[in-house]
């Protein structure tokens, strides 16, 4: 390694000498298309306040659970990476020290997308000139820190530099949407809210009663009855629509969407609500909780068919696999583990009811690869309301993305895909992620061309569809 670190222009394109030049040509045609980031988790305040990002560790390491989980798997603990309550034993407050630990563990990221994205960020965005290691950690830190102090590295400037045409944030159902109101005036149509009601649809969560109150406050509708609860949800959805929102976002354990008879749902709500607030709704049995959540997914679909919000659905994650970690450090710390999902039977009630409707759209994401060819592609290949989301989360990686194309395209075609979304809270990784997806798609399409299964003009058009036009279409208001 020298200290002139550069990225190869052909990275992540197929190696085969027949396919690579075709891939290059396809990639060149989409490389500079604007970024449409319709599913992500960057904090809206970053854009509303437009403050400089903090230090390199707080920007790149601490909030990125892809990255901290790998270091944890190799023996680090979360506090020494600056994660968790500031007062906890071993908590590291010095960002430079945290960054050193990350650089010392650089080897462990080999073969992972974290490595790929981070390289892209360091070289392309921050102009870092040396590969991270225990020895170079301070040099890399300083190079990034210097950049972060410049005005060109504030969020709104980066929004332009990254060529982001539109970006969606994810917001609680009870969000007052103040920041979005300011942004609607200052950056019209550029930063959109997404309605995420998950905690309100799970009475067993300890926060449920408190969240119901937040919902009541935000909506101005009492949530102490089932009807009020539904009305308040409907009101907030309307507020999101008014604020430019195009979509909702739903993460459930199961894909079940079976509706309950109204009186059964009402009774479950009342039973959960009657429990002492400090027990949450834990008075529901596990089966009742699951049935109520499934029922509420159906209600969300029904409301989407009315108000046109696109329903993003990504079930199949066992959250907080180690509850002790969640208790000590909070959620989203890398201990969320996928489980098998049954989309064919789970989505059936919603698709029977709304799957052939032009006023409803669902985009389904999964981290259970089995369902691509078995369930999701066959479903999306017939129901007009269903689109397949990009390979999600752990599967947002070069080989996994290629497997998705290979497994889903032959049955669902390209037109039933919703195109790439980055699904990230790591703002500076967004260009890297979209660029990588465009490269992988170029490689897949190039193979189809090289195998004479597609003409080059079609491949170029399809690459642009996947990168730009399909997400625009898929997330358009219904």
Q: Which of residues 269-288 bind its own copies (CB under 8 A)?
A: none
Instruction: Answer yes or no: are the C-beta atoms of 289 and 202 closer than 8 Å.
Output: yes
Q: Give the nearer residue to its own copies in terms of CB position, either 160 or 406.
A: 406
328: contact with its own copies by CB under 8 A: no
Tell me which of 49, 213, 306, 458 binds its own copies, using CB under 8 A.
Answer: 458
Tell me which of 107, 161, 224, 270 binds its own copies, using CB under 8 A.
Answer: 107
Q: What is the dihedral sign for C-alpha 216, 221, 225, 231? A: negative
Q: Give the nearer residue to its own copies in terms of CB position, either 223 or 366.
A: 366
144: contact with its own copies by CB under 8 A: no
Tell me which of 2, 4, 32, 75 binds its own copies, using CB under 8 A.
Answer: 75
In order of 169, 238, 438, the CA distances from 247 in angstroms are 10, 11, 24
Say how many CA atoms lie within 13 Å of 37 toward its Cβ.
32
Q: Give the nearer residue to its own copies in terms of CB position, either 284 or 417.
A: 417
Tokens 């329903």 found at: 311
Least distance in Å: CB of 316 to its own copies?
8
Tell me which of 198, 369, 422, 435 binds its own copies, using CB under 8 A.
Answer: 369
425: contact with its own copies by CB under 8 A: no
Q: Report the distance separating Cα 290 and Cα 320, nearest Å.
A: 17
Instruction: Answer yes or no: are the C-beta atoms of 49 and 156 closer than 8 Å.
Output: no
188: contact with its own copies by CB under 8 A: no
377: contact with its own copies by CB under 8 A: yes
Tell me which of 172, 197, 398, 471 binds its own copies, using CB under 8 A.
Answer: 398
113: contact with its own copies by CB under 8 A: yes
338: contact with its own copies by CB under 8 A: yes
Tell me which of 154, 182, 234, 348 binds its own copies, using CB under 8 A.
Answer: 348
Q: 248 forms bridges with which residues in the sheet?
A: 195, 311
Q: Which stretch binds its own copies (CB under 8 A): 6-14, 163-171, 236-244, 423-431?
A: 6-14
Q: Which stretch binds its own copies (CB under 8 A): 55-63, 103-111, 172-180, 192-200?
A: 103-111
Least distance in Å: CB of 117 to its own copies?
11
Tell me which of 216, 308, 381, 425 binds its own copies, using CB under 8 A.
Answer: 381
55: contact with its own copies by CB under 8 A: no
411: contact with its own copies by CB under 8 A: yes
182: contact with its own copies by CB under 8 A: no
Tell me which of 335, 365, 392, 420 binds its own copies, using CB under 8 A.
Answer: 335
248: contact with its own copies by CB under 8 A: no
Q: Give the nearer residue to its own copies in terms of CB position, either 237 or 405.
A: 405
327: contact with its own copies by CB under 8 A: no
374: contact with its own copies by CB under 8 A: yes
409: contact with its own copies by CB under 8 A: yes
262: contact with its own copies by CB under 8 A: no
Question: Site for its own copies (CB under 8 A): how many residues?
Answer: 95
CA angle 330, 364, 473 (to 5 degrees): 115
Q: Which stretch binds its own copies (CB under 8 A): 190-198, 257-265, 290-298, 366-374?
A: 366-374
Residues 114-133 that bind its own copies (CB under 8 A): 115-116
Tell me which of 3, 28, 52, 73 binds its own copies, using CB under 8 A.
Answer: 73
Q: What is the dihedral sign for C-alpha 146, 147, 148, 149? A: positive
Q: Report the distance separating Cα 346 and Cα 209, nearest Å.
A: 27
Least distance in Å: CB of 281 to its own copies?
22
28: contact with its own copies by CB under 8 A: no
Least distance in Å: CB of 91 to its own copies?
17
103: contact with its own copies by CB under 8 A: no
134: contact with its own copies by CB under 8 A: no
Tell me which of 30, 38, 462, 474 binds its own copies, using CB under 8 A.
Answer: 462
Select from 477, 356, 365 the least CA-distant residue to 417. Answer: 365
72: contact with its own copies by CB under 8 A: yes
Select from 109, 118, 108 the least CA-distant residue to 5. Answer: 118
């Amino acid at each position: 390694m020298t200290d002139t670190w550069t990225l190869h222009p052909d990275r992540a394109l197929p190696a085969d000498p027949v396919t690579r030049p075709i891939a290059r040509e396809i990639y060149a045609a989409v490389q500079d298309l604007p970024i449409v980031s319709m599913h992500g988790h960057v904090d809206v305040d970053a854009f509303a306040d437009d403050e400089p990002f903090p230090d390199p560790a707080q920007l790149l390491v601490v909030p990125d659970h892809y990255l901290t989980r790998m270091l944890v798997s190799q023996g680090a603990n979360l506090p020494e990476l600056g994660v968790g309550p500031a007062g906890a034993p071993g908590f590291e407050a010095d960002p430079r020290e945290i960054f050193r630990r990350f650089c010392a563990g650089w080897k462990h990221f080999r073969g992972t997308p974290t490595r790929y994205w981070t390289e892209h960020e360091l070289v392309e965005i921050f102009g870092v000139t040396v590969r991270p290691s225990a020895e170079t950690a301070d040099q890399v830190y300083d190079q990034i820190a210097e950049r972060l102090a410049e005005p060109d590295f504030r969020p709104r400037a980066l929004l332009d530099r990254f060529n982001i045409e539109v970006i969606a944030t994810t917001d609680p159902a009870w969000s007052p949407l103040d920041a979005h109101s300011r942004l609607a005036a200052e950056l019209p149509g550029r930063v959109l809210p997404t309605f995420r009601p998950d905690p309100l649809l799970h009475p067993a969560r300890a926060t449920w009663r408190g969240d119901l109150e937040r919902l009541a406050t935000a909506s101005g509708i009492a949530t102490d009855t089932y009807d009020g609860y539904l009305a308040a949800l409907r009101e907030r959805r309307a507020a999101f629509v008014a604020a430019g929102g195009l979509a909702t976002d739903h993460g459930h354990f199961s894909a079940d969407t079976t509706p309950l008879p109204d009186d059964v749902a009402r009774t479950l709500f009342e039973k959960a609500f009657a429990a002492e607030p400090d027990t949450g709704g834990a008075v529901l049995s596990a089966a009742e909780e699951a049935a109520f959540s499934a029922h509420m997914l159906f209600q969300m679909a029904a409301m989407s068919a009315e108000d046109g919000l696109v329903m993003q659905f990504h079930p199949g994650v066992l959250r907080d696999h180690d509850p002790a970690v969640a208790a000590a450090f909070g959620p989203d710390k890398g201990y969320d583990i996928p489980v098998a999902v049954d989309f064919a039977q789970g989505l059936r009630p919603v698709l029977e009811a709304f799957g052939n409707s032009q006023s409803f759209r669902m985009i389904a994401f999964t981290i259970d690869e089995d369902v691509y060819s078995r369930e999701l592609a066959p479903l999306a290949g017939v129901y007009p309301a269903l689109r397949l989301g990009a390979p999600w989360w752990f599967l947002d990686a070069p080989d996994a993305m290629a497997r998705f194309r290979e497994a889903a395209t032959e049955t669902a075609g390209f037109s039933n895909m919703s195109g790439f979304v980055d699904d990230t809270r790591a703002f500076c990784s967004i260009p890297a992620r979209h660029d990588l997806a465009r490269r992988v798609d170029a490689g897949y399409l190039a193979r189809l061309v090289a195998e004479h299964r597609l003409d080059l003009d079609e491949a170029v058009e399809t690459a642009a569809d996947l990168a730009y036009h399909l997400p625009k279409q898929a997330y358009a208001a219904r």
